[in-house]
Amino acid sequence: MTQGSTPETAAPAAGSTDGSPRYVVGVDYGTLSGRALVVRVSDGAELGSAVHEYAHAVVTDRLPVEGGASLPPEWALQVPQDYRDVLRRAVPQAVAAAGIDPSDVVGIATDFTACTVLPTTAEGVPLCELPEWSGRPHAWVKLWRHHAAQAQADRINTIAADRGESWLPRYGGLISSEWEFAKALQVLEEDPAVYAATDRWVEAADWIVWQLCGRYVRNACTAGYKGIRQDGAYPSREFLAALNPDFADFVADKLDQPIGELGSAAGTLTAEAASWTGLPEGIAVAVGNVDAHVTAPAAQATAPGQMVAIMGTSTCHVMSSDRLREVPGMCGVVDGGIVEGLYGYEAGQSGVGDIFGWFTRTAAPADYVAEAELRGLSLHELLTEKASAQAVGEHGLVALDWHSGNRSVLVDHELSGLVVGQTLATRPEDTYRALLESTAFGTRVILEAFRDSGVPVTELVIAGGLTKNHLLMQIYADVTRLPLSVIGSAQGPALGSAIHAAVAAGAYPDVSSAAERMGRVQRAAFVPDEAGAAAYDPLFEEYVRLHDHFGRGGNDVMKRLKALRRKAIAGKSEVVTVTADGIARGAATPREASAGGEAA
């Protein structure tokens, strides 16, 4: 389904009077759909957009081919053709919605979920599109939230720590099972034939650019954050051989590729891609990027100390700095990872809006649902309204926001949620507010880790769907004691991509100066209330005490409960797992709800 719309912020498309570059297109590839946005180069005005939902969404049950194999728990695949369809459908529709002449478009840029990665031939053909491989699960795109390579990730981390690999602290001490190396190693160990047939192991962020310009340029962002590229190098051949002798040449044979800095052009639009999109052949195609990171310039937040929190189902924090520091529990620090010339830091919270959604879906009583319907409110709006009537601390609760695990600063997905303080007088809005607050406390823990590591945060810039909850925003301002700025666009990633397109097209000298003109932010939209901030301090102390007790080994009950859960489910029924030669029966692991993506 593709839907086009003309945003309210759109100004009439003016004809070019001075021959200067006019329009760019940003395309944001999310977990379930892709969005194209047409933006005016001179001022960033959003003129038209369109969304195309992927026909195959996320493949978790069975391969989408005739007689397709069923998939084990924790698997999450996607279909490359769905990505091309965004170019074919959403881009022309956005251009039409904007009412502009396509020939006035001077550049296109994309951003993607990450690490979403696929095996291709040397020419960039996905193995899953070749008949001889399409029946093999490992030939398909592994979505960021494919979580079946934990065993490989564990081995990467153990061996890296034992060998004292210098790159490990650049990732807060832990490499995720979601990233390029763990996922590739899983392919090698579970289906060596697919691994052998893989010429290139490509981030989808770069594959889509390859489709647009016919050149494979590896972007600096994912190469660093997801590909363990640090100081111009990848993990050594010796390290890879220690993981698995057959993995020794993975970097040299399948991964290494010239790097493109963010904002530069990867190439120009091919005739084929021009025919898909309706855009002029030969316009600039920007180097690929990641949805969270590309949002920073859209919010005019590329200077040191400006941390952007993209708050949706999960939260991703990105911040640039001129200093290289090792922040415990961050996701990573990458030279030029957000803007060229600065170190880009990333941290994250695995569950934020997802937790609020889970609560309203599973714990809102029928009378609240009826009241919300009667008054034309969403359950979130109703619970927020009721929670707003409370004084800080009135609910008597404190919660840990680990329902999807903890990405920063504990980097532990075996953790889980906790609520303490409920009584027979506890109402749904009490628990809802405690969950809102728990995510703010989680953010403060991250901010304090950055401060204590010498990379202080001076401004918090919020983007993403949760900005519309003003109670939540005020809680964040009070808990962090920081002024909160709010991005001025509801389509931050697509606007950020458009900014990169403009730079790639030469309309601006660099991303920061383009952001100055094309980005939008409301500065200090929420400021800390000193009474509220003071009232939150003792609650934050309680949060930290529980955080450290349950998160740092005081009581590993959460991990043991997950192990008991897996054992209980395995005892009930068998499920399939994929082995080297196909499908075999084996012990089950529970099918958890997915953790949030970068800016999902």
Closest CA to 215 of 279, 288, 292: 288
Site string for its own copies, 354-373 (x = CB under 8 A): xx--x--xxxxxx--xx---
Shortest Cβ distance from residue 35 to its own copies (Å)?
A: 25
Shortest Cβ distance from residue 77 to its own copies (Å)?
A: 20
CB 25 within 8 A of CB 46: no
Strands (E), 242-314: 259-260, 265-268, 284-286, 306-311
Shortest Cβ distance from residue 74 to its own copies (Å)?
A: 12
User: Tokens representing 484?
Assistant: 């909160």
∠ Cα 33 111 308 (to 5°): 105
Shortest Cβ distance from residue 434 to its own copies (Å)?
A: 10
Sorted by sequence, the CB contacts under 8 Å of residue 581 that are 6+ apart come out as none
User: Tokens representing 480?
Assistant: 């962090």
Does 590 engage in binding with its own copies (CB under 8 A)? yes
Shortest Cβ distance from residue 390 to its own copies (Å)?
A: 8
Of 147, 254, 395, 433, which one interacts with its own copies (CB under 8 A)?
395
495-525 b/e (C-beta count within 10 Å ≥ 16 → b):
bbbbbbbbbbbebbebbbebbeebbbbeeeb
Stretch that binds its own copies, among 47-55, 107-115, 251-259, 569-577 (CB under 8 A): 569-577
Of 594, 597, 599, 600, which one interacts with its own copies (CB under 8 A)?
594
Of 282, 506, 509, 538, which one interacts with its own copies (CB under 8 A)?
538
Question: Residue 390 class from Cβ within 10 Å (0-12 exposed, 13-18 middle, 19+ buried)?
Answer: middle
User: Tokens representing 46?
Assistant: 């959003």
- Cα–Cα distance, 67 to 81 (Å, whole number): 19
CB 192 within 8 A of CB 580: yes
Q: How many residues bind its own copies (CB under 8 A)?
A: 62
Shortest Cβ distance from residue 298 to its own copies (Å)?
A: 28
Nearer to its own copies, 392 or 446 (CB): 392
Does 200 engage in binding with its own copies (CB under 8 A)? no
Closest CA to 47 of 12, 2, 85, 4: 12
Q: Where in 418-457 is the site for its own copies (CB under 8 A)?
A: 418-428
Does 374 engage in binding with its own copies (CB under 8 A)? no
C-alpha R_g of the chain: 23
User: Taking the alpha carbons of 424, 429, 432, 438 in that order, is the dihedral positive or negative?
Assistant: negative
Nearer to its own copies, 1 or 366 (CB): 366
Phi/psi of residue 299, nearest 5 degrees: -100, 15
Stretch that binds its own copies, among 170-178, 201-209, 498-506, 562-570 (CB under 8 A): 562-570
Of 63, 475, 494, 546, which one interacts with its own copies (CB under 8 A)?
546
Shortest Cβ distance from residue 116 to its own copies (Å)?
A: 20
**Residue 329: in which H helix or E strand, if any?**
none
Shortest Cβ distance from residue 470 to its own copies (Å)?
A: 20
Shortest Cβ distance from residue 436 to its own copies (Å)?
A: 16
Nearer to its own copies, 130 or 593 (CB): 593
Does 396 engage in binding with its own copies (CB under 8 A)? yes
Does 560 engage in binding with its own copies (CB under 8 A)? yes
Does 532 engage in binding with its own copies (CB under 8 A)? no
DSSP-derived 3-state class of residue 284? strand
- Cα–Cα distance, 453 to 153 (Å, whole number): 26
Please give the residue ranges that form the binding site for its own copies (CB under 8 A). 351, 354-355, 358, 361-366, 369-370, 390-398, 403-404, 416-428, 535, 538-539, 542, 545-546, 549-550, 555, 557-558, 560-562, 564-565, 567-569, 571-572, 590-594
